[in-house]
Amino acid sequence: MRFLLALVGIAAIIVIAMMALGMMTLQTKPGSLPTVSVAGGAAPEVHANVATISLGTENKTVDVPTVTTTQKTIAVPSIHVNKPGDGTTNTAAAQ
């Protein structure tokens, strides 16, 4: 890919050098755009019958579940850590 890009670049430099030295000239003549005429015509017509939507609120009676909580005393696991220097000693390690 690099080789192809380098080859195109070298060809462009050679063409520019030849034009600068007068070894190559380009003959051009002005062009023009084609003429286009538009006459008549009409935009398409569309008729659509669509439904209407009404948004609002109305009162209704519905069954709603209730959630209650009660307090019970249960045993939960706990961990107590004696840090060094907090005034408590580890008697098991001292023996």
pLDDT at res. 49: 87
Q: Regarding predicted confidence, which is higher, 65 or 87?
A: 65
SS3 per residue for 20-41: HCCCCCCCCCCCCCCCCCCCCC
pTM equals: 0.31
**pLDDT recorded at residue 38:** 84
**How many other CB atoms are there within 10 angstroms of residue 74's CB atom?**
4
> CA 89, CA 95: separation in Å to the nearest integer?
12
Q: pLDDT of 71-91, one tens digit each?
A: 999 999 998 888 777 665 555
Identify the residue whose tokens are 């098991």. Answer: 92
4-44 per-position pLDDT tens digit = 999 999 999 999 998 888 888 888 888 899 998 888 888 88
Q: Which residue's entry shows tokens 């009404």?
A: 54
